[in-house]
Amino acid sequence: MAKERIAIIVIHEIYGVNQHIKDVKVFLEKSGAAVYTPDLLSIEEPFAYSKEEKAYANFMENVGFEKGARQIERLIYQLKQQFDHVGIIGFSVGATIAWLCSTFHELSFAVCCYGSRIRSYTSIEPNCPVLLIFPAHEQSFDPEALIENLKQKRNEKITIQQFSGSHGFIDPYSDKYEALAAEKALRLMEEFIYRLC
């Protein structure tokens, strides 16, 4: 049986599989990809944005970056049996998980949207093309410093793009949403993926 062309795993933020993640799934499916949105938190309802601190504590206590990466790697391996290309797109903590998974040889690409904790894993050397999308402003660190650090790696597999706005600027349900920057970032993401696959 011939393999299907492309599968994309969308990795959620600390809140779980919310409406934003579901909308990203629909957006990607319009291009013909099979899109998967695993719930790393195993919860019935996603956290509300107003519960950010509780959602973050829950993620760190019950999932964490390394355990999350192992869960996604298992799914990548399963999907690779069925698809020619398997890629991942992560948002926030999901982006850091995507960055950790970029070393996995079965992966075709990774897109990491405002993965602020990538700064804790700058020693990672991706084995697949990676698109890193950062905002101009982050509350907890200087994105410019992280970008400069990553550029010094001189790894040709890494593409970095910075957009105006703050952490969460792609999410239309967030108070950090920046419509123009979000549109540009989604277009760039789509071009990046379909140039590779």
How much is the average pLDDT of 183-191? 96
Answering whether pTM is above 0.85, one says yes
Phi, psi of 135 (to 5 degrees): -85, 170
Q: pLDDT category, 66, cuts 50, 70, 90?
A: very high
The average confidence (pLDDT) of the chain is 95
Closest of 24, 20, 65 to residue 8, by C-alpha: 24
pLDDT tens digits, residue range 2-43?
568 999 999 999 999 999 999 999 999 998 999 999 999 999
Under CATH, to which class is 4-196 assigned? alpha beta
Bridge-partner residues for 112, per DSSP? 90, 132
Give the containing element (helix H, strand E) for 112.
Answer: strand 109-113
Closest of 114, 27, 118 to residue 69, by C-alpha: 118
Residue 144 in this model has a pLDDT that exceeds 90 = yes
The residue extents of the domains of the chain are 4-196
